[in-house]
Amino acid sequence: MKKRKINAVKLGVFVLTGLVILVFALYTLGKNKTLFGSSLELKTRFRDVNGLLLGNNVRFSGIDVGSVQGIKILNDTIVEVTMTLEKRMRKYIRTNSLVSLGTDGLIGNRVINITAIGGSAPFVEGGEMLPSREELNTEKMLQTLYGTNENVGRITEELLQTVHLINTSTALSNLLNDKSLSTNLSGSLLHLHETSKNASILMKDAIATLQQAREGQGTLAVLLNDTTLATEIKQVVTQIQVLETSSQRLVSDVNQIVATLEKDVQQGDGTVNALLRDSLMAESLRATIENAEKGTAAFALNMEALKSNVLFRRYFKKQEKKARN
């Protein structure tokens, strides 16, 4: 009797142990953990794991190679994730591989994706911290899309209002129905075309003139390349200066003569008094003075023309600057 009880207890312990082992094996296999083989542990860090859970799959190049072993909050902005991978992955995963969060399907469980970057980085040995890449935030994308839709709605509403104003505008309707508008517009375009054509011809002529000047041909080339022209211009300018000085002296002498004449007239003496009384002599003197005034005016006009001349303009500008200084 006692032997039966002992056997029953042994059987119960054996069955219970088998059940525990079976449950553990099923749990381990369900979490993609290696039951009998060795494993490889890697870590990474994220700002937000977005619902990642322990036991979620870890994929390399789209293949399940491990699972999430641990999730630890380091501070208010960093979450550390520990991954357990198959040990054979040492031959394929390098230390510069990027870790990112993904979704198993459209609305499935969260997964971790490891993407190979390539290069000459060493392969992992275990315990390395892999760099992570933040995924696109779907919530932020939806918020941005919502804002964009609102803006599109406002633009559409304003566009409808603008079209309504255009349809109900009397001035615009009259403008569109004005038959003379097309005629005037055609004439304006024709004038614009002619102006553009003339400008094009003018530019071609200018380019041709410059090309001739570069080749040493034409009047412009002679003016630019003639070394004796500058000497001749200086001589002409010197003569003009002498003439200007002489004219100033002449004006001074005339002023002195006029002053003397006024004095003689007031005193009633001298030749001036006789000239005033002699009508013929006075008329001759008047004609002489008029001729002198005309000559002075003509000289002034010649001086102004010389100042406007391209060859002497720079010289007169220099003289004006010297006079100001």
3-state secondary structure the chain: CHHHHHHHHHHHHHHHHHHHHHHHHHHHHHCCCCCCCCEEEEEEEECCCCCCCCCCEEEECCEEEEEEEEEEECCCCCEEEEEEEEHHHHHCCECCCEEEEEECCCCCCEEEEEECCCCCCCECCCCCECCEECCCCHHHHHHHHHHHHHHHHHHHHHHHHHHHHHHHCHHHHHHHHCHHHHHHHHHHHHHHHHHHHHHHHHHHHHHHHHHHHHCCCHHHHHHHHCHHHHHHHHHHHHHHHHHHHHHHHHHHHHHHHHHHHHHHHHHCCHHHHHHHHCHHHHHHHHHHHHHHHHHHHHHHHHHHHHHHCCCCHHHHHHHHHHHHC
Residue 221 banded pLDDT, cuts 50, 70, 90: low
pLDDT of residue 196: 86
Residue 143 lies in a domain: yes
Q: Report how far residue 224's alpha carbon sits from residue 216's, in angstroms, rounded to the nearest whole number.
A: 9
Residue 320 banded pLDDT, cuts 50, 70, 90: confident
Residue 7 lies in a domain: no
Out of 114, 134, 154, pick the residue that ends a domain: 134
Query: Does 81 share its domain with 49?
Result: yes
> Quick check: 29 pLDDT over 60?
no
Q: Report how far residue 237's alpha carbon sits from residue 307's, in angstroms, rounded to the nearest whole number.
A: 11
Output 276 or 206, whichever has higher pLDDT. 206
Residue 82 banded pLDDT, cuts 50, 70, 90: very high
Residue 218 banded pLDDT, cuts 50, 70, 90: low
Query: Does 257 share its domain with 298?
Result: yes
> Quick check: 5 pLDDT over 60?
yes
Q: Report how far residue 94's alpha carbon sits from residue 90's, in angstroms, rounded to the nearest whole number.
A: 8
Query: Does 38 share its domain with 129?
Result: yes
Residue 319 lies in a domain: yes
pLDDT of residue 129: 94
Q: For a pLDDT cut of 70, what percent of the chain falls above it?
A: 72
- pTM (predicted TM-score): 0.39
Short-list 8, 107, 102, CA closest to 62: 102
Output 236 or 282, whichever has higher pLDDT. 236
Residue 234 lies in a domain: yes
Residue 3 lies in a domain: no
Residue 178 lies in a domain: no
Query: Does 215 share its domain with 233?
Result: no
- Segment of 134-138, 204-208, 249-253, 314-318 carrying the highest mean pLDDT: 204-208
pLDDT of residue 124: 93
Residue 47 lies in a domain: yes
Query: Does 141 share its domain with 214?
Result: no
Residue 104 lies in a domain: yes
Query: Does 243 share its domain with 215?
Result: no
Exposure string of 64-80, with b = 16+ CB inside 10 Å and e = fewer, is ebbbbbeeeeeeeeebb
pLDDT tens-digit map of 157-189: 888 888 888 777 777 667 667 777 777 777 888
Short-list 67, 40, 42, CA closest to 53: 67
The parent domain of residue 105 ranges over 31-134
Pairing of strands 98-103, 110-115: antiparallel
pLDDT of residue 227: 67
Least confident of 15-24, 90-99, 145-154: 15-24
- Segment of 26-35, 138-147, 260-269 carrying the highest mean pLDDT: 138-147
- How many domains does the structure of the chain reveal? 4
Query: Does 220 share its domain with 232?
Result: no
Out of 134, 155, 176, pick the residue that ends a domain: 134
pLDDT tens-digit map of 246-303: 777 777 777 777 777 667 666 656 565 565 555 666 677 677 777 777 777 767 766 7
Residue 96 banded pLDDT, cuts 50, 70, 90: very high
Query: Does 204 share its domain with 234?
Result: no
